Amino acid sequence: MRSSSVEAIVLKVLDYGEADVIATLYTREQGKLRGIAPNARRSRKRFGGALDLFARLNISLRIREGLSRLEEAAIITLSSHIREDITKVAHAGYACELTDLLLPDGLPNSRYYRLLSAWLERLNSSPPSPADRLFFEINTLNILGYRPELAQCSVCGVPFDGTRPLTFHPSAHAITCRFCAGAGRPVAPSVPERLRSCLVTGRFGTVVFTTEELADAGFILDNLIIAHTGKEPKSLRFLREVE
């Protein structure tokens, strides 16, 4: 067991026993971990109500395999505006569940930590938007090495030039040109370019999607994410209901 200081985002909290809390955290320095905060529901001094969903915290802890021991937490931001809006809660809950499902324990990824922090900050300060969700999803897939081919047809290699009709194949997780299309969903020719822009700009709110692009890109990314999580995340179902 070693002592450590980390910056962390609270993904999940669970009351445990009389006064303890078990939290799942995504930390900048140690990746994902679970920790028990003894007496957290009584000790205002050590935790001060900090162990709340979507909060970003500085935490002192003793790292143990399986379940670390949280000793103290200081708030960087509580993201309290997210909790005032059910659609924001749905987006943030989905981002946290994806983090829990897709990121391995104990393996830090500073790029992903920055992306998740930026998404929660964006949700806390702006109205939720489907374009921002796509931005978060395609960057998540890219950082984790799951990015779909966005420059050319996955079968014949013809470049996507923004004019040729395209098709997405949910079972093959690939976008192809019309000539290589079997059964699949037609996709607006501009969608790959739009998603590539999300990877290049690195900032929420800078890529504008048409209604058709939003629907097609949303279909592609939801399918890719379900392929990598192995099942539809519960929070995705909830998000679709409130969207």
Residue 156 CB-density burial (10 A; 0-12 exposed, 13-18 middle, 19+ buried) = exposed
* Segment interacting with Zn ion, rule: CB under 5 A, options 75-83, 117-125, 176-184, 190-198: 176-184
Q: What whole-number distance in Å separates Cα of residue 82 and Cα of residue 78? A: 9
Rounded CA separation 76/121 (Å)? 11
CB of 179 to Zn ion, least distance (A): 5
Q: Identify the three-state secondary structure at position 114.
A: helix
Closer CB to Zn ion, residue 38 or residue 184? 184
Per-residue DSSP letters for 155-205?
TT--B--SSS-EEEETTTTEEEEGGG--S-EEE-TTHHHHHHHHHHH-STT
Q: Contact between 180 and Zn ion (CB under 5 A)?
A: yes
**Of the candidates 162, 122, 159, 117, the residue with the CA atom closest to the CA atom of residue 140:** 117
Query: Does the protein bind Zn ion through residue 153 (CB under 5 A)?
Result: yes
The backbone region for 115, taken as left when phi is positive above 0, alpha when psi lies in -120 to 50, beta otherwise, is alpha
Name the segment binding Zn ion (CB under 5 A); options: 89-97, 130-138, 180-188, 235-243: 180-188
Q: 176 or 235, CB closer to Zn ion?
A: 176
Q: How many residues bind Zn ion (CB under 5 A)?
A: 6
| Phi, psi dihedrals of residue 127, rounded to the nearest 5° | -65, 145
Q: Give the binding range for Zn ion (CB under 5 A) out of 79-87, 121-129, 154-162, 200-208.
A: 154-162
Q: What is the closest distance, in whole angstroms, from the C-beta atom of residue 154 to Zn ion in the complex?
A: 8
Contact between 155 and Zn ion per CB under 5 A: yes
177 binds Zn ion (CB under 5 A): yes
- Piece of the chain touching Zn ion by CB under 5 A; list 16-24, 76-84, 153-161, 183-191: 153-161
**By C-beta, is 178 or 240 nearer to Zn ion?**
178
Are 13 and 46 in contact by the 8 Å Cβ rule? The answer is: no
Does position 181 interact with Zn ion (CB under 5 A)? The reply is: no
Nearer to Zn ion by C-beta: 174 or 198?
174
| Alpha carbon distance 81, 84 (integer Å) | 5
Contact 99, 115 (CB under 8 A): no
Question: Residue 59 or 174: which CB sits closer to Zn ion?
Answer: 174
Regarding 156 and contact with Zn ion (CB under 5 A), the answer is yes
Question: Which spans of this chain sit near Zn ion (rule: CB under 5 A)?
Answer: 153, 155-156, 176-177, 180
